[in-house]
Amino acid sequence: MKNSKLAEVVSVMAEKGKKKRKRSYEEIVDDLQGFQLGPDSIDDILEHLQSLGISVGNEAEAEDEGEPESVENEDIFVPDGIEIDVARVDQSLVHID
């Protein structure tokens, strides 16, 4: 019975991870509370998540791997005597996915 419950929890963890493409160690530990797992079992779960393309790391690493911050709200300081032709800059921006 515990194995089916663990499989269900791992499946839910995988679904959450697929949506965000990442899971932190803290999230994984929270999800696995109540199960007494040895290091090999935990490694198997981590490897399973990674095999699904889910990045696993600590909270700071998980946050760093998210979407890049927008530069739209960045302050740009231009030295006196220099002008920027904004229309020309907008035309030259290229978005690469």
Q: Is residue 92 part of a domain?
A: no
Q: Is residue 93 part of a domain?
A: no
Q: Is residue 17 part of a domain?
A: yes
Residues 6+ apart with CB under 8 A from 24: 56, 57, 58, 59, 61, 62
Domain, as residue range, for 49? 2-64
Tens digits of per-residue pLDDT, 26-80?
Answer: 899 899 988 888 889 999 999 999 999 999 888 645 455 555 555 566 666 667 7
pTM, 2 dp? 0.57
Query: For the chain, how many structural domains are there in total?
Result: 1
User: Residue with structure tokens 């509370």?
Assistant: 33
- Can you name the residues that pair with 57 across neighbouring β-strands? 24
Q: Is residue 30 part of a domain?
A: yes
Q: Is residue 59 part of a domain?
A: yes
Cα–Cα distance, 48 to 67 (Å, whole number): 24
Q: Is residue 82 part of a domain?
A: no
Q: Which conformational region is residue 68 in: left (phi greater than 0), alpha (psi within -120 to 50 degrees), or beta?
A: beta
Q: Is residue 97 part of a domain?
A: no
Count of CB atoms within 10 A of residue 94's CB?
5
pLDDT for 20: 85
